[in-house]
Structure formats: structure tokens, C-alpha cells
Amino acid sequence: MKKIMVLAGGNDQIALIKSLREKYENVEIILIDYAENPVAKPYADRHLQISTMDQDAVLESTREENADMIIITCGDQPLPIMAYVAEKLNLPCYLSYNQALNLTNKERMKDIMVKNNIPTAKHCVIKDDNYGDIASLKFPLIVKPADCNGSKGVRRVETIEECIKYIQQAQQFSRTHTAIVEEFKEGIEISVDAFINDGKATILMMSQLNKYKVNDATMVIYQSIIPPSLNIGVYEQIESIANKIAQAYNLTYSPLLIQLIVNGDDIAVIEFSARIGGGAKYKTIHEYTGFNILNANIDAMVNKKVSMDIQCEAKCMSRCHLYTIGGVFDKIVGTDKLISENIIDSFTQTVSSGTEVLHPQGSSNRVGSILIKANTPQELHDKIQYAISNIKVLDATGNDIFLRSMYEQ
């Protein structure tokens, strides 16, 4: 029997576990997650209540279980844990420990980007209280921890006083007490999903990310538009950048997620990771291209060449995420009717009834998402507006707590 350790127990790991069971007939899945009852727990054979970031504990558990593989999908910061454990125990993995550090520590990532002419914002690295290098940058600036999940500690600043204040905050979020300060780039934010097969990057999907400003410190992605409206030259530049990344970071078989800013013909890479995007991105990729990136991710673990059979299944698509004003979640209504009317194609609920939900502070506060397909951008816009108007997110007392206003900006 094959024994596989799965790091993290979120909704995306449920899909990973199902894919592992389809790929391997005789397999035992052991879930590692610090939570007592992660949502993926019922889909695994066993659950070990260990933090995915506790390198020594994960190593020891994997050794004791005599596991054949350790894997994570759609997660960024646990990548070095996966690679470290695999390296120590001589298990298959598509990343070495050093590669994983290069891809998750923004100081190392930026250094390699600059050396390999991968376009990125001008920046400096701040350790301790040495702020002198900030003088070489033009405001506004973005301050972020060098190594942290999601948008924790990320802040736009307009003055040197603000900058120093939020550098200190970012350093508190960083495990290496290091902050990155970079020049703010105007433009539209684009997410690029690719897969590297035998060293060559193939673009699967590009999405324009629309964000909702919660407050001065927080913005959350509420919608992706596929494909973004970009000229052909920009598409070609992005494909070239993806292949530069594959070469610079020595990636042979790997998923690749790139975030960048596009302003006309100017492109700046924000950051990237050797993983699948979260928020059910694997579903969106499959709907758009027919490509099963979860299976490809599993194949990458054993350096197996993947058949890149890409067939565009839709002309325009949008993934719309549902957030609330806060309360005790009960249910989402209206989606069945919208599916029957061919307005939305699919719906995913990510929290269970009775869960206390919060006003958005990050992607973890989503209660669900809808996928919409259309033949033209105008048809897509009309379907989105109709769907958002006819969905309700009800709390325990029957009140609609859907944060609909984010779609009305």
C-alpha cells in the first residue's frame, strides 16, 4: 500500500485527496493540519494535528509513518517543508529544498529575478533598522514581509514615516525579520497559471484580478475575469517571462503561478510560486482548458512528463467570490435557479451552516464562489450583474448578509 502525507486540510486539499485516490488504487492518505477538525479530515484515512510549518514535527511524523510521498497543492509557505522532508527522507519531489526557499522567500526571489532580467519593481531589503536604501526608491511604496502567507503585513505607504512604521510591522510577520520595500506599480493585476513540462512553460490561463478595498491595509480579490483584455505583444512577453522563470529557478516539472502588473506594454512581476492557485483555481483551469492540473501536479512529484493537451472550453469566464458583512452563516440561496437559467455554470460553498463568518480580511473569509461562462465580454458582464443581484447569503435569522457592495464599485 502506498502511504501519502498531505500537508494542510483546506477545501483545495479535498480535491487533491480525491485525485490521489483516483491515481493510486491502494493508498492511505494521512492529513497534516494544526486544526482539530479541518474540512479535509473526513476525506483522509487519518489526521495528525501538527502545524504544516513545524518542519521537525512534520519530518518526524513522515519518517515514523514510513511514507512514500509528502505533497501540498495550492499552498505557498509550506512548500519548503514539503521539499525539506522529501530531501531528508529521499522521497520524490519536484522541488529541492533550496529551490523551495528561492520561491517562497521574497528576498531570494527578487535577487534571482534581477540577476536574470525578469522585470520587477525596483526594491530594497530591510533588516533590523537600516532604512538608508529607501532613499533610492520613489513613493508610493509597497512594504511586505520577506516570507509570509497571503497579504499579511502588506501595506502601501506614501511617506517615509509611514514606511518605517509598516516596515517594523512587516518584520514582525517575517520569520527572518526581513521586509521588502518596492516601488508601487500602476496598472491591472494579472494572475498567470502555467505548467512547466520538461523545462518548458505552457500558459494555461490568464486572469484579471479585481480587488475590493476593505480599508487602508487590506484588499481582497473578489473576482477574476478570464481572459484579460491585453494586446498580443503582452501575451507573448508573459509567455517569455514564464519560461525565463522556469530557466532561472531550474524548474523541470512544476505548476507555476505568477502575479504581475500590466500597464500598457509595461510588465512588472510581483511574485510567483511553484504551485496551483488557491480558491478552487484547479476547477477554473479545467473548465477553461480541459487540463487537469491537479493530476499534473501529482505527476510532477515523480518527474513524469505530462501530456499538455490544452483545448479552450470557453471564450469568456469569471470566478466570482462571495463574502459577507459578518454573522452566523446558514446558507446561500438562488444558485440552483441561476444554474437552471444558464446564468451560472457552477457553484461552490466553502463554509458549513452554523459557522461564524467575518467581514473580509482575506480569502479565507469567502463563503463560496460562482463560475460564469459567456461568449462575449458584454454577455459575461450582464450575467455577472444578474447573478449577483439574485444570490442571497442568509444568516441564522434569515437576514441577507451578502457583501454585494463589492460588485457595485
The domain spanning residue 13 has which CATH number?
Answer: 3.40.50.20
Q: How far is CA 1 from the centre of its chain?
A: 32
pLDDT at 363 over 90: no
Q: Is 280 left (phi over 0), alpha (psi -120 to 50) or beta?
A: left
Q: Which amino acid is at 93?
A: C
Distance CA 168, CA 149 (A): 17
15 within some domain: yes
Which of the four pLDDT bands, split at 50, 70 and 90, describes residue 148?
confident
Is residue 138 domain-shared with residue 193, that is, in the same domain? no
Q: Sign of the C-alpha dihedral, residues 266, 270, 274, 275? A: negative
Q: Is residue 362 part of a domain?
A: yes
Strand ranges, E, within 1-127: 2-7, 27-32, 46-48, 69-71, 123-127
User: Considering its fold, how many domains does the chain have in total?
Assistant: 4
* CA 76/CA 99 separation, integer angstroms: 13
Phi, psi angle pair for 359, to nearest 5°: -55, 140
CATH number for the domain including 173?
A: 3.30.1490.20
* CATH code where residue 269 lies: 3.30.470.20
- CA-nearest of 72, 96, 102 to 84 is 96
What pLDDT is stored for residue 127 in this prediction? 92
Q: Which residues contact 358 (CB under 8 A, 6 or more apart)?
A: 324, 326, 365
Query: Do residues 326 and 371 both lie within one domain?
Result: yes
Look up residue 346 and give its amino acid.
S
Same domain, 200 and 289: yes
| Residue 110, in any domain of the structure | no
Q: Please state the rounded mean pLDDT for residues 111-123.
A: 97
Task: Please give the Cα distance from 177 to 129 (Å, whole number).
Answer: 11
69 located within any domain: yes
**Are residues 194 and 242 located together in one domain of the fold?**
yes
Q: For residue 76, what pLDDT band results from cuts at 50, 70 and 90?
A: confident
* Domain range for 322: 316-408
Confidence at residue 309, expressed as pLDDT on a 0 to 100 scale: 83
User: What's the pLDDT score for residue 150?
Assistant: 66
The number of beta carbons lying within 10 Å of the beta carbon of residue 236 is 10
Q: Is residue 218 part of a domain?
A: yes
Extract the runs of DSSP E, i.e. beta strands, from 233-282.
Answer: 254-263, 266-273
Q: Is residue 67 scored above 80 in pLDDT?
A: yes
Burial of 216 (0-12, 13-18, 19+ CB in 10 A): exposed
Residues 194 and 167 in one domain: no
Angle, helices 97-104 vs 79-89, to 10°: value is 170
Kindly tell me the sign of the dihedral angle through the C-alpha atoms of 18, 20, 22, 28. negative
Q: Is 26 exposed, middle or buried (0-12, 13-18, 19+ CB in 10 A)?
A: exposed
Q: Which amino acid is at 301?
A: M
Residues 205, 290, single domain; the answer is yes
| Whether 167 and 199 share a structural domain | no
Is it the case that residue 121 has pLDDT exceeding 70?
yes
Please indicate, yes or no, whether residues 63 and 27 belong to a single structural domain of this protein: yes
pLDDT at residue 313 above 70?
A: no
Kindly report, residue by residue over 246-278, the tens digit of the pLDDT: 999 999 999 999 999 999 999 999 999 999 998
Interval 315-351: pLDDT, tens: 899 999 999 999 999 999 999 999 999 999 999 999 9
Dihedral over alpha carbons 77, 81, 84, 85 (to 10 degrees): -160
Lowest mean pLDDT among 57-66, 112-121, 277-286, 399-408: 277-286
Q: Are both 193 and 295 inside the same structural domain?
A: yes
Which region among 86-100, 126-140, 205-219, 386-400 has the lowest average model confidence (pLDDT)? 205-219
- Bridge-based pairing of strands 254-263 and 218-226 is unpaired
> In the predicted model, is pLDDT for residue 151 greater than 90?
no
* Pair 330, 242 in one domain: no
306 falls within a domain: no
What pLDDT is stored for residue 279 in this prediction?
Answer: 81
Indicate the burial class of 264 (C-beta count within 10 angstroms; 0-12, 13-18, 19 or more).
Answer: exposed
180-206: pLDDT as tens digits: 999 999 999 999 999 999 999 999 999
Give percent of the chain with pLDDT exceeding 90.
86
Query: What integer pLDDT is reported at residue 326 of this predicted model?
Result: 97
Domain identity same for 334 and 251: no
- How far lies 90's CA from each of 59, 76, 83, 146, 298, in Å? 12, 22, 10, 29, 17
Going by C-beta distance under 8 Å and a sequence separation of 6 or more, which residues neighbour residue 90?
none
Q: Is residue 359 domain-resident?
A: yes
Residue 104 lies in a domain: no
**Are 192 and 295 in the same domain?**
yes
